[in-house]
Amino acid sequence: MPRTRSRPDACPGAWRRHDAADGALARFRPVGGATTATELRLLAGAAAAGGSPIELTSRGSWQVRGLAGTTADDLADALRDDRPDALVDLQGRDVPCSIIASPRSAAVDPVAGAVATGLRGRVDVPGRLLVAIEDRTVSVVRGGSERSFGARVPLTPGVGDVSGQGADVTVVINGPAAGPPTPADPAEGLLDDGAALLLDGVDTGLRHADPAALALAAVDAFTAHRGSAWRVRELDDAARTAVLAALGAATTPGVGTLEPGPADPTRLGADGTTLEVLPRLGEVDLPTVMALLELLDRGATLRATPWRTLVLRDAPADAVERLGGLVETDPASPWRGISACVGAPRCRKSLTDVRGDLAAAVASGHVGGQVRAHWVGCGRACGTPGGRVAVVEAVETSGTYRTVVRSGKVNG
């Protein structure tokens, strides 16, 4: 039988909040990371009123802390918009689970929007479920707009981006390219029969011509056989077999096997008109928001990523200068690959001020560089990113830590 849980999933969302030590916590799930200037402005205003920056999570979501009850409701209500990728639609519905997507590729935007439309309003989808849409050929722009797919080159063999995040359902597509596929294309021959489906990071061998339909079919099959499980990895062999059988009738077998991408595909800095930046520990403060809003008003578009960076498409030439000192843009930054739970005093369960301890360790030169690490204040290890990571866990209130290497997120 699938894993038995004694309580329902309680992941916070736009309307369901977590009662933290510093007030109500609301989480907003951008579809494929897409966030408009209006949405960013509303989130930042509510966060500033609560005395905190807005936060990026390991699922590419926005988190707002310190909310009062009426403030939280007012924020969710103000975010209503008539777009497939809106944080909250006109009916007041957010997306029940996170949908992440290749942040540099416009080819995945309509797919992510269609998946979001199919999931809104569903109450059978656990908030812990994670859906990923990946484009194995990513636009690299040199003197043109990424939206025109002007200079697309394939990723190196075996490399993707969101497929390395430990998603329950991952759909991999080959986006539109300028010219024929090249021999270096890692997806050549593997996606001839349509988009590929990975479950819990493993290629099922199933393909379908419609990537959005494939993702939704996989969610349907999971919810039909999950019992009380929240994640695909919690299913036993019988339930997994039933899920694959349900999908087999509507898909075709593929050729070859797709491997997931790296756990940390961060590419800080500018690449043509695309810019990726790293807010330290995923915290986006008001001055940073104001600089981002100026860039968005000038035509850039924003994507939040599950590796806690921000990707600006069609960024103005002076974007790095405008964001200077506010975020990390250097690929060699010691803050790359480092994350942390919120810690004390904003979390009652944390044994110590985790973020303060981590900042001191980075400043001393003892942390940062080669090892991907997530610092936490207790054994719950909240916010642990997907993939292989060193979890540095506080074991005493004095700031003593132990290190545990984990592959994948902590179940809980």
How far is the C-alpha of 172 from the C-alpha of 249, rounded, in Å?
A: 19
Q: Which of 97-111, 180-194, 285-299, 337-351 has the lowest mean pLDDT?
A: 180-194
338-375 per-position pLDDT tens digit: 999 999 998 999 999 999 999 999 999 988 867 889 99
The per-residue pLDDT for 157 is 36
Residue 180 identity: P
Quick one: pLDDT at residue 258? 83
- Is the CB of residue 346 less than 8 Å from the CB of residue 352? no
Please report the pLDDT score of residue 212 as a whole number. 97
| φ, ψ at 92 (rounded to 5°) | 85, 15
> Does the predicted TM-score (pTM) go above 0.75?
yes
pLDDT classification of 190: cutoffs 50, 70, 90: low
Q: With cut-offs at 50, 70 and 90, classify the pLDDT of residue 409.
A: low
* Residue 169 in this model has a pLDDT that exceeds 70: yes
Which run of H or E residues covers position 356? helix 354-363
What b-and-e string marks burial along 154-179, b requiring 16 or more CB atoms within 10 Å of the CB?
Answer: bbeeebbbbbbbbbbbbbbbbbebee
42 pLDDT above the threshold of 60: yes
* SS3 letters across 295-345: HHHCCCEEEECCCCCEEEECCCCCHHHHCCCCCECCCCCCCCCEEECCCCC
